[in-house]
Amino acid sequence: MSNKEINKVNLKSKFDLINNFWSPKIVAELNGQHVKIAKFKGEFVMHNHQDEDEFFFVINGTLFIELKNKVLELKSGEFVVIPSGIDHKPYSKDEVSVLLFEPKTTLNTGNIHNKFTISNIKKI
């Protein structure tokens, strides 16, 4: 890769391109992993990822993640790793902006296929 192709990215300018909730976009790729961003609002589906751990970092807003026996509440500047195989259901009352680290193989709805499933996530 030429140095000319190495450029910084402003995260807010990427979030400004997102108009839909629960529709993650790829903002960087490295070491077989994706850095994704997404806006969430409302309820997602309970699911798990067989082989992938998932890193959720809240950039703005408040994200709830329901597990089997507790609910995590993440505010701006807080993160969590959801290990592979662990059922989790993200939801939020108001709009929340989230940064994700996860393997390129990760399907947003994991073991569930429904209206939220996006198998061809775009790079922005």
Question: Which parts of this chain interact with a copy of itself (CB under 8 A)?
Answer: 1, 3-4, 6-12, 28-31, 33, 35, 52-55, 57, 67-70, 72-74, 77-83, 86, 101-103
Q: Shortest gap between Cβ of 5 and a copy of itself (angstroms)?
A: 9
Cα angle for residues 117, 119, 120 (degrees, 5° grid): 130
Helix (H, G, I), strand (E, B) or coil at 13: helix
CB of 43 to a copy of itself, least distance (A): 19
Q: Which is nearer to a copy of itself, 59 or 112 (CB)?
A: 59
Pick 10 or 119: Cβ nearer a copy of itself: 10
Task: Answer whether 60's CB lies under 8 Å from 96's CB.
Answer: yes
Q: Tell me the two tokens of residue 22.
A: 């629960």
Quote the CA–CA distance of 106 and 50 in Å, as a whole number.
Answer: 9
> Shortest Cβ distance from residue 50 to a copy of itself (Å)?
13
